[in-house]
A and B are shown apart, each in its own frame.
Chain A
Amino acid sequence: MRIFGVLFRLAWRNLWRNHRRTIIMLGAIGVGVWAMIFMTALTRGMVDQMITDSIGVLPGHVQMHHPDYQDDPSIANRISISDADLKDKFDDAGFEAWASRVRVPAIITSERESRGVTLLGVDPAAESEISFFDYEGVEGRFLDDAADKGIVIGEELADTLETEIGKRVVLMSQDPDNEIADRGFRIVGLYSASTKAVEEAYAFIGKTTAQKMLHIDDATTEVVFLGDDYRNVEPIYDAVTSAVDDSVSVRRWYEIDTYLGTMMNVMDGFVLVWVVVIFMALSFGLVNTLVMAVFERVREIGLMLALGMKPGSILGQIIIESMLLMTLGLAAGNFLAWATVTPLESGIDVSIVSEGMEMWGAASVLYPKLYASDMILASGVVLLLGFLASLSPAWRASRYEPVEAITKV
Chain B
Amino acid sequence: MSAVRCVDLCKTYRQGDQDIKALDHVSIEIGKGEFVCLSAPSGGGKTTLLNAIGGLDIPDSGEVYVDGERIDNLSKGELADLRLQHIGFVFQAYNLIPVLSARENVEFVMQVQGMPAAERREKSNAILKEVGLEGLEGRRPAEMSGGQQQRVAVARAIASRPALVLADEPTANLDSKTADELMELFTLLNKHHNTTFVIATHDQRVMTYAGRLIRMLDGRIVDDIDQRAA
Contact = CB atoms under 8 A, between A and B. Distances in A.
Interface of A: 2-3, 5-6, 9-10, 13-14, 17, 299-300, 303-311, 313, 402-403, 406
B187 interface: no
A178 B99 CA distance: 89
Nearest to B97: A300
Contacts of B97: 10, 300, 303-304
B167 to A, nearest CB: 13
B56 A308 contact: no
Contact of A406 (B82, B91, B98, B114): B91
Contacts of B14: none
Interface in B94-126: 95, 97-100, 104, 108-109, 111-116
Contact of A308 (B83, B95, B115): B83
A307 B76 contact: no
Nearest to B86: A308
- Pairs of residues from A and B, 7 with the lowest C-beta to C-beta distance, nearest first: A308-B84, A13-B99, A308-B83, A403-B56, A6-B111, A303-B95, A403-B57
A311 B76 contact: yes
A307 B84 contact: yes
A403 B51 contact: yes
Contact of A13 (B89, B100, B116): B100
Contact of A10 (B76, B85, B99, B115): B99
20 contacts: A2-B111, A2-B115, A9-B104, A10-B100, A13-B99, A17-B99, A300-B97, A303-B91, A304-B108, A306-B54, A306-B83, A306-B91, A308-B85, A308-B112, A309-B80, A310-B81, A311-B76, A311-B80, A403-B51, A403-B56
A299 B96 CA distance: 10
Contacts of A402: 56
Contacts of A300: 97-98
Nearest to B107: A6
Given A299-B95, A402-B56, A403-B51, A307 B112 contact: yes
B77 A310 contact: yes
A406 B97 CA distance: 12
A393 B57 CA distance: 24
Nearest to A6: B111
Given A5-B111, A300-B97, 6 more contacts: A13-B99, A306-B83, A307-B109, A308-B81, A308-B83, A309-B80
Nearest to B112: A309
B207 to A, nearest CB: 23
A378 B12 CA distance: 54
A64 B111 CA distance: 69
A307 B86 CA distance: 10
A259 to B, nearest CB: 58
A233 B81 CA distance: 59
Given A10-B97, A10-B99, A303-B95, A308 B109 contact: yes
Contacts of B116: 2
Contacts of A2: 111, 114-116
Interface in B68-84: 76-77, 80-84
A135 to B, nearest CB: 68
Given A300-B98, A311-B76, A306 B89 contact: yes
Contacts of B114: 2-3
A3 B112 contact: yes
Contact of B111 (A3, A305, A310): A3
Contacts of A6: 108, 111-112
A406 B80 CA distance: 15
Contact of B108 (A14, A307, A311, A403): A307
A305 B91 CA distance: 13
A305 B57 contact: no
Nearest to B96: A303
B165 to A, nearest CB: 12
B51 to A, nearest CB: 5
A13 B91 CA distance: 23
A313 B112 contact: yes
A311 B76 CA distance: 9
A402 B104 CA distance: 21
A168 to B, nearest CB: 86
